[in-house]
A and B are shown apart, each in its own frame.
Chain A
């Protein structure tokens, strides 16, 4: 689960890059960048939960 979260985070980064490359107008660019950041935060949340689960499972 934690690796899934870590793989989601670059997806958000690529959304941000796509915003730069694809949209010259500021409104759509801002919207895409914010979406990219939201995806990154989602990935971070999944990673945090993955770590908490794996730590709970390995506790004596």
Chain B
């Protein structure tokens, strides 16, 4: 079942076309990896999925992005609600300079989710869901910035989960982390995907090969415009890619 469907999605920064005609169907409760060389538009595409590009002046989008069948670019769309449903984790962990507890409770408080349910249980469930609970449960009042980078990233994931999203977008979530913290994030992704649809941008092809069910390869096409070259099951992309350009990239012969 498709959770997100992009139909002929193009994106302009002012007059410049940055992404051209991207059509892709992202499967529900699967991990989809977006790979490709720097500047190929994969992060830009990711940010189209919860309209993060709206915050950049002069950005214009053509085509459609359907989330569970609804076009998220329809005028009148509640963008705050959209970003709750489609949460995002960034390259550098970005916890608020507050306690662990307040970081996770932030979303539920702002969104009013905690009015009728126990905020404590949301915090605990979210921290458990992010595989962080056992490491922090004894001192939830601790400053989030005192955690290791890997823990901070899992805290950011807990913060996203607390908003009860449907989709989690991850923009190079492990690129600032050491190998052990990276593997913890990857294991966590395998847990999260039981409940959420995950789309991850990664520069690390082995990571894409390890964690994802589907892989989309982007590169700059004609006129230096971000283009989707090939999209298939991850095992296909990494063993028998169909497009020569994909093969050259994943075997390290691109460029």
Partners in one complex: no
